[in-house]
Structure 1
């Protein structure tokens, strides 16, 4: 039947079949289908979706995903995970496949900083959107985002959990269980879950297999990734991307065998360390001393022959079992090493092949990368950023800056560390975009990376990301409240729906203390008025007033004198915003009334002074009432958003409940 259709329709059918059956890579027919796909693609044919199925492309792919996810066809049983095909027989990933998968919920228990169960709804009014996670350093922001990474991609920090001594503690130390669990819910109804447990000195994971929508490129970008990218020589930088763009054809058998060897070595080391402690020997002893230590512990240091002669030919059971255990561990290590040597040559060369694939799929990214760099930095002296992947150096990924005067330099020779961080972020975004064009879910987690960029260009970088990835689900973490306001305002200005998650604190026993998503920033003050001490009430009112003035300073906008590191006092912001709203019939009277007592914020909310003990509760409550009234004029609790400019001098929220003119 396949020969009866046109080559273009045949290509569409083959591509759909490969998507449905991507778990059957060990079957001979799958390899034949892959070769047919390659042949059709190399002939220059493009898929004719309508001719093949009488459907639009996205409808066909939705149908394929339904089959793969067993939602409409429960009788289809997926095979157990098998070794992927080598890259040489893996079909090229076509451009144009778009995934609409988003994350709606994340749950975790016992994972990293989460000593108590956490279940977070990541939707806004029932729909998936972007997420802003705020909290101080060390309260558990990275725990939340690495839980998403582990559930979706089976990795933590872009690495599969391996030897426990090589990475972070993955199971919370405050719980009694030896297992941690994470899961995410997706918009298609799928739940991806992973459990992790500690085995000797290694981690063992189990659970859902990584779906195609999360199989091409990492979804999490952290500061450590930027450091690793910039700190790795260009001749080896491409190796950082091994495992991406392989459509499941990563060298998993190599990783599994290497993991077996690491686990066996860890178990042997634990055995030797315990034995050394019982024998009173140094903890780190040569493995050839193990038999001597066994005799010290179980045979009073005597050779086996002497013990047998004295004990009528019998050795202690404990000695025999311990010796057998050690020899078995030694055999396990030797077997794993032998398996590594026997791996096929093409699989050992998989790293270089994957770097080559990365270069092919990224294509010419010089133009978009240069345009983004110049737009954010406004460095007009930059002519072009040239990226070379692979080439004469198999694992290379080099970047060269071409200046308009004809000079060529490496990025580190001309850019500050902050601008180099920017360049790395922009490159990773281009990688994510290339993956999204080939079926990866449009989900990207930015874990406190934007704040590593120079303050002067940070806001332009954020605006660029929101414009370039407008239909993506972005999960952004930040630890600075002033920057949090910038992020929230930028999302609103870009008309991007998002939800807020605030981690108030962290406790060893209880884990992260998380407020419900979408909390009104004024909620803290409202809960304190007429209940807490004057110092506490006035301090909270002053903080809310500072947040309000900071937001209005760029909404109006108001001219604020520059301060070192962009740190502004309430008084500086207040004066600038007040002058901007002096003609507003709604806001000017409120600013005048608050202006007379705004000093209460410093008098009561900062350091101890005698005035703090003499101010009455009523004065602090009156100050708070005025601040909350002003807050309600610029922030709408119904649509959960600040006012934005609508016309020349009119500002209002999305639903129109909060509004004023200037």
Structure 2
């Protein structure tokens, strides 16, 4: 990936009067070190997550849309429909430059864009949504390549866009022709005239015939047959039977509709560079080669993640017809079948997601910025595949990308946070906690993991509840550290363990490692309280009830402090034993600067 593209990341986003966002909402993409980072956005359905990611697409590429079943774009409203007087405005900062789109604002806010695309985002949409995955397998082979009609395009409105628009308009003209025929029959019955006598080839010919048939419809000399109606003319028309008026009005309206559609079709055909009946290809000429290029990557990723023994490979082949894309599963050499015949719904969704991800990655090799929004796509991934998909994203081909991930499932959010931390993938979490029609989404920053939840409990919970949460947090932390620090722990049958059995070996390793005081001191205080517990011989819940409020909060605070001290303050990576012949060396898996006290207290424990 070219260095200049690697630096093309979003630093900030300002949204106002855009879809579900009313008040000015600022999304800060900066990590603790000030550099742009990836975002995880958690919020219930209906709280405005999609309005935020739509604003990203709108700011970068000037569109708010979703793909329909034919691969075409279905336009969506960019305005805040609850406050129509306000015009939408979005400002995005990318690579140190600011761009604004929508309502013109002072130039100090950034370059105002109309149909221009932000540099680095012209080859592919910035967003993959769950709707994209849902619709992909509903497309026939002959239409499936059209799903990617807006990939590898360098203009805001490209030839393929206009060709699709022309096809849509041509289909609308056909529908209008059917409506005209029905109205023609209705008028023939009402007026008791042969159908063939009613001209419908164009609107002018019909209006002229109508004026001859019913002089009340005649217009003044020198005016058009469908000219403005004078009061006298309208009075004469109203004297006709109602069924005659209605039948004439219906047919006239259908003819006007067809006339407008024909004009739009002609304009779209010219814009596409084609002629009536002969339009340019909908997809970019380079797309077939790109799809063939990613076939092996999609196969490798799918086989690794899905682990289906009956599937030997995935074959992606471009058909003979324009727009045809054949995707098959290879079961045995020479035996290729439609994936929908042999894959579960979850496996089909996984395959579609991997295909879209690899297309996006191939676009970065051609000049697209490594920025991708994944809007609610994780709900399409089966539980058994979640960990492997996250590893594929965070520790594989997308490790250096900027991702914006939206979820509404808190369990998924915690899993994503934890996997990112373990893989050293920088990720910032935002929570959309509410939405109101007056202001829009209410966004809060903060990790969703155990230490963040424990910190909230310290301030608000009763003693027994607080100690219960702190005990679970300590058990989770001890389990993490036992693995990362390579501490030997005696586990029971079935890999079960108790907090007592795992904490003491971890505490012993911490104490012997000559680590800094911000790690050792909370560990000592935690252990001192545990000694009191063991002396009293109480079960954990009974012990919790004997603690004073101050002791309970001290215990919880020290668990929280130990957790934060043993994890990187920037990305959350865990203190890890790298192992050398003379003894363990402790460091963070990430390359972020660690606490200075860690290096001072133990020279061999400086961050990697």
TM-score by shorter chain over 0.5: yes
Q: Pick one of 560, 565, 578 that aligns with 1:628.
A: 560
Please state how far the C-alpha of 1:647 moved relative to its aligned partner: 1.7
CA deviation after TM superposition for structure 1 residue 238, in Å: 1.2
CA distance in structure 1 between the aligned counterparts of 2:540 and 2:572, rounded to whole angstroms: 28
Query: 2:128·2:373 contact (CA, 8 Å) conserved in 1?
Result: yes
What's 1:403 paired with?
331
Q: How many residues align?
A: 492
Establish whether residue 439 from structure 1 lines up as the match of residue 364 from structure 2.
no
Distance 2:103 2:490 in 1: 52
Deviation of 1:118 (Å): 0.8
CA distances 1:502-556 after superposition (whole Å, capped 9, x unpaired): 3233334332221236799745654663566557756865785587468558756
- In structure 2, the residue corresponding to 1:395 is in which secondary structure? coil
Counterparts of 1:7-86 in structure 2 under 5 Å?
none
Aligned to 1:462: 390
The verdict on how the C-alpha distance between 1:373 and 1:621 changes in structure 2, with shifts beyond 3 A counting, is same
1:655 maps to 2:563: no
Classify 1:627/1:174 alpha carbon distance in 2 versus 1 (closer, same or farther; 3 Å): farther
Counterpart of 2:260 in structure 1 is 335
- Pick the aligned partner of 1:645 from 567, 572, 576: 576
Determine the C-alpha separation between the residues in 2 that align with 1:522 and 1:111.
35
- Which structure has more relative contact order (CA 8 Å, sep 6+)? It is 2
Contact 1:634–1:658, Cα closer than 8 Å, also in 2: no
Contact residue 130 and residue 377 of structure 2 kept, 8 A: yes
1:422 aligns with 350
Q: Specify which of 283, 287, 292 is matched with residue 354 of structure 1.
A: 283
Partner of 1:315: none
SS state at 1:635 partner:
coil
- Distance in 1 (alpha carbons) for counterparts of 2:301 and 2:504: 36
Shift of 1:172: 3.6
1:590 aligns with 2:526: yes
Please report how far the alpha carbon of residue 339 of structure 1 lies from its aligned counterpart in structure 2 after TM superposition. 3.8
Q: Does 1:305 align with 2:236?
A: yes
Per-residue deviation at 1:369? 1.7
Say if 1:303 and 1:142 are closer, same or farther in 2 by CA, change over 3 A: closer
Q: 1:156 to 1:176 in 2, by over 3 A?
A: closer
| 1:184-219: CA deviation from partner (whole Å, max 9, x where unpaired) | 1111414142359xxxxxxxx983521352121112
Cα displacement (A) at 1:561: 11
Q: Note closer, same or farther for the CA distance 1:306–1:108 as it changes in structure 2 (3 Å cut).
A: closer
Q: What secondary structure does 2:124 align onto? A: coil
Give the equivalent residue in structure 2 for 1:266: none
Q: Structure 1 residue 229: deviation in Å?
A: 0.8
Unmatched 5+ stretches in structure 1: 1-56, 63-97, 161-165, 197-204, 264-287, 289-297, 309-323, 564-570, 605-610
* SS in structure 2 of the partner of residue 354 of structure 1: coil
Aligned equivalents of 1:562, 1:181: Cα separation in 2: 60
Alpha-carbon offset, residue 112 of structure 1: 2.7
Cα deviation, residue 367, structure 1: 1.8
1:184 maps to 2:109: no
Q: Secondary structure at the match of 1:641?
A: coil
Map 1:13-412 → 2, pairs under 5 A: 100-124=7-31, 125-158=33-66, 170-175=78-83, 177-195=85-103, 207=114, 209-248=116-155, 249-253=158-162, 304-305=235-236, 331=256, 334-341=259-266, 343-344=269-270, 346=274, 352-354=281-283, 357-379=286-308, 381-389=310-318, 391-404=319-332, 406-412=334-340
Answer with 343-352 or 407-416: which moved more.
343-352
Farther-moved stretch of structure 1 (243-252 vs 347-356): 347-356
Residues 444 and 468 from structure 1, CA distance in 2 versus in 1: closer, same or farther, beyond 3 angstroms? same
Q: Deviations over 1:572-601 (max 9, x none)?
A: 895885487374345598379469699669
TM-score normalised according to structure 1 size: 0.61
CA distance in 1, matches of 2:444, 2:377: 23
Structure 2 unmatched runs, 5+: 69-73, 105-111, 173-205, 207-228, 240-248, 512-522
1:449 and 1:237 map into 2 onto residues whose CA distance is: 19
Distance 1:193 1:548, change over 3 A: farther
Match of 2:417 in 1: 488
CA distance in structure 2 between the aligned counterparts of 1:334 and 1:459, rounded to whole angstroms: 56
What's the CA shift for 1:227?
0.7
Pairing of 1:569-580 with structure 2 (within 5 A): 578=503
2:16–2:88 CA contact under 8 A, matched in 1: yes
CA distance in 1, matches of 2:413, 2:27: 20
Aligned to 1:279: none
8 Å contact 1:506–1:513 — kept in the other structure?
A: yes
| Aligned equivalents of 1:539, 1:261: Cα separation in 2 | 67
Please identify, of 359-368 and 529-538, the stretch whose mean Cα deviation from structure 2 is larger. 529-538
Q: CA RMSD in A?
A: 5.0
Q: 1:506 to 1:327 in 2, by over 3 A?
A: same
Structure 1 residues 592 and 108: CA distance shift in structure 2, 3 A: same
CA distance in structure 1 between the aligned counterparts of 2:235 and 2:119, rounded to whole angstroms: 58
The higher radius of gyration belongs to 2
Secondary structure of 1:422's counterpart equals helix
Superposed CA deviations along residues 361-403 of structure 1, whole A, max 9, x for unmatched, are: 33333222212222223445533311012x2232221211113
